[in-house]
Amino acid sequence: MIQRIQTLYLALVAIVSGVLPFIFPLWKDEMGQNQVFFMEDLTYVALFGLSFTLAIGAILAYKKRQNQFVMNRLNIILNLILLGLFVYRSLNLSGEETASEKGIGIFLPIVAIVCLVLANRAIKKDEELVKSVDRLR
């Protein structure tokens, strides 16, 4: 069923991973003229692309809740790796010659992780509901 609440959460993850990185920069220099987007590093492109693909795949696997749950877990791990790379990079940015400020794009994996956790909770509730109905038969 596509109209379930976890589909909304997964669609939000797809938007956060597939659309918003094109809009929000990861870093800016002190003048705000040089903005660094995710497209400048192939690692970030691959990780955001995989996160987007897993979110869309989980939406399309709505009939198999266990597969959806596993895909979301993999996506959480992927976003944690992406967040770790951003934190590592931001810690290295603080020692550079020109001061730079961090962009809002660094926080996109956090939003994705929160939405994925909420989607997994909803999937678990659905699974428990189906199991309880099966017991009544």
Q: What is the pLDDT along the chain (137 residues), one digit of tens a residue?
A: 577 899 999 999 999 999 999 988 887 766 657 777 888 889 999 999 999 999 999 999 988 999 999 999 999 999 999 999 988 887 776 555 555 677 788 899 999 999 999 999 999 998 898 888 877 65
Widest distance between CA atoms in the chain: 70
pLDDT at site 62 = 87
Q: How close are the terminal C-alpha atoms of the chain, in Å?
A: 22
Query: Residue 24: which residues within 8 A CB-CB, separation 6 or more?
Result: 103, 104, 105, 108
Gap between the Cα atoms of 33 and 105, Å rounded: 16
Question: Is residue 70, in this structure, part of any structural domain at all?
Answer: yes
Q: Residues 97-108, buried b or exposed e (16+ Cβ, 10 A)?
A: eeebebbebbeb
Question: Is residue 59, in this structure, part of any structural domain at all?
Answer: yes
The pTM of the full predicted model, rounded to 2 decimals, is 0.87
Question: Is residue 55, in this structure, part of any structural domain at all?
Answer: yes
Question: Is residue 4, in this structure, part of any structural domain at all?
Answer: no
3-class secondary-structure state, position 117: helix
Q: Which domain holds residue 51?
A: 42-130
Question: Is residue 15, in this structure, part of any structural domain at all?
Answer: no
Question: Is residue 3, in this structure, part of any structural domain at all?
Answer: no
Question: Is residue 95, in this structure, part of any structural domain at all?
Answer: yes
Question: Is residue 54, in this structure, part of any structural domain at all?
Answer: yes
The domain total for the chain is 1
